[in-house]
Structure 1
Amino acid sequence: MDAGLAAVLGALAGSFATIGAALAAGWAQREGARISARSEHRRERREPRHDTYKEFMSVAATVRDVVAVYAIDTDLTPVEYANEETENRLREASFAVKDKWVDVSLAGPTSIAKMAYQIERASYLAILEFSGYRQCLADDDEKSQYARRVFRKNLLDVSRQLDVLLVNFVDAAQIALDDDGSRKR
C-alpha cells in the first residue's frame, strides 16, 4: 500500500470515527434530555397525585370501616347498628368514593384508575347489601331470616374485598408515586 492511499484511508477512518462519536454523543444527549423531561413531568404530577390518592383512600376506608362491623360473628354485631344513621353514613361515604374515583382516574396512571374503579364498585355494592340487610330486619318470617343471613354473608365478603382492594391500592399508589420516570416500561 502506498503512502497516499494509507493517508486517505487514515483520514476516512478518522472522519468515520468522528462522525460515529458525534452521533453517539447526540443520541446520549437526546436520551438524557428525554429522561430529564420525563422525570420533571412525573415530579410535577407526584404531589397532586399524592393528595388525590390520600383523599380517595380516606373515604374508601370509611366505607370499609362501616361494613367491617359485619366481618365479625353474627351474634357480636348488634342489630341496632343497622339503622338509618349508619346507612346514611355509608351512602355518603360511598358517594364520596365515587367522586374521588373520578379524580384518581384523571390523575392516573391507568393501573391505579382500574384499582380505584374496583373499590368504587365494591363501595356501591356495600350500600346495596347494607340496605337489603336493613330491609330484612323488619320481618321475622323464615324467608326474611334466610335473606338476612345472605346479606350478612355478602357484607362480610364486601368488607374483606374492600380491605384487600385498599391494601393493593396503597401498594400500587406507592409505586406510582415513587416512579421518577427515569426507567422505560
Structure 2
Amino acid sequence: MADMDSGIAAVLGALAGSVATIGAALATGWAQREGARIAARSEHRRERREPRHAVYRDLMEAATTFHHRIAIYKYADVGMREDLQLRVEDIPALRQNKERVNKSAIEVALVGPKGVSEASMKLSKWSEEAYTYVSALTDLHPSQAADEQIWRFTTQGAADATKRCGHALEEFALLAQAALDDDGSRK
C-alpha cells in the first residue's frame, strides 16, 4: 500500500506540476497579448492625437483672429454709428479670415470626435453670421437717418452674433482640449 501511495503521489505531483506549468503559460500568453493590445491602442491614440492637435490649432488661430477683428461689435450700441463701421477695404481681409474659419471647422469636423466636430461647426456658423452682419454695416452710411430701423437691426445682429461667436470659440477650445487629453481611460 505504501508503494501505491507513493506512486499515486508521484503521479499527482507530476499532474499538479503540469497543470501549474500550463496555467503559467496561459497567464504569460494572456499578459503578453494584453500588453501588445495596450501598446497598439496607445500608438493608435498617439497617431490620432497628433493630426487632431494641428487641425484644432488651425481652427483656434483662425477663429481667434476673426473674433479679435470683430470684437468691438460685441459692445455695439446704435449710437456708435461712425465707430462701428468697418472700412470697405477691411472687408476682403475679414472675408478671408472667415473663410479660413469655415475651412478649418470642416477639417475639425472630419477628425472628430463628435462633440468637438459639433462645436467646430457651431463656431463656423456664428462666424458666418457675425461676418454677414458686420459686413452689412459697411453698406449703411451714417448720414442715412431714414434707415434707422435697419441700422438698429443690423447693429444688434452684429452684437449678438459676435457674442455667440466668442462663446462658441470658448466651447470649442474646452472640448478640443478635453479630446486631446483623453487617454482612453474615461468612458
TM-score bin, normalised by smaller chain: 0.7 to 0.9
| Higher RCO (C-alpha 8 Å, min separation 6) | 1
Match of 1:109 in 2: 113
Q: 1:58 aligns with which of 35, 57, 61?
A: 61
2-side partners of 1:77 and 1:43: how far apart? Answer: 51
* Counterpart Cα distance in 2 of 1:104 and 1:95: 14
Q: CA offset at residue 110 of structure 1?
A: 2.4
Q: Distance in 1 between matches of 2:29 and 2:81?
A: 69
Conserved 8 A contact 1:104-1:113: yes
Structure 1 residues 87-106: aligned runs within 5 Å: 87-106=91-110
Aligned 8 A contact 1:42 1:180 in 2: yes
In the alignment, the residues of structure 2 paired with residue 5 and residue 133 of structure 1 have an alpha-carbon distance, to the nearest angstrom, of 99
| One-letter amino acid of the structure 2 residue matched with residue 176 of structure 1 | A
Q: Does 1:135 align with 2:149?
A: no
Q: Relative to 1, partners in 2 of residues 1:16 and 1:92: Cα closer, same or farther, differing over 3 Å?
A: same
Mapped pair 1:121 → 2:125: yes
Q: Distance in 2 between matches of 1:148 and 1:134?
A: 11
Counterpart amino acid of residue 110 in structure 1: K
Retained in 1: the 8 A contact 2:66–2:97?
yes
The question of whether the paired residues in 2 share the 8 Å contact of 1:101 and 1:120 is answered with yes
Q: 1: CA distance between counterparts of 2:36 and 2:76?
A: 59
The whole-number CA distance in structure 2 between the counterparts of 1:24 and 1:136 is 77
Distance 2:166 2:84 in 1: 24
In structure 2, do the counterparts of structure 1 residues 44 and 164 end up closer, same or farther at CA, with 3 Å as the change threshold?
same
Q: Is the 8 A contact 1:118 1:165 kept in 2?
A: yes
1:169 maps to which residue? 172
How many residues align? The count is 181
What is the rounded CA distance, in whole Å, between the counterparts of 1:149 and 1:9 in structure 2? 95
- Pairwise CA distance, 1:94: 0.8
| 2:30 counterpart of 1:31 | no
Query: Counterparts of 1:71 and 1:184 in 2: how far apart (Å)?
Result: 37
The amino acid that maps onto 2:139 is Q
Q: Percent identity?
A: 40
Conserved 8 A contact 2:76-2:155: no
SS, match of residue 137 in structure 1: coil
The one-letter code sitting in structure 2 at the alignment partner of 1:171 is: L
TM-score (norm 2): 0.77
Scaled by the length of structure 1, the TM-score of the pair is 0.78
Unaligned runs of 5+ in 2: none
Q: Decide whether aligned partners of structure 1 residues 60 and 10 sit closer, same or farther in structure 2, where only a CA change above 3 A counts.
A: same
Report the alpha carbon displacement of residue 37 of structure 1 after superposing the two structures with TM.
1.0
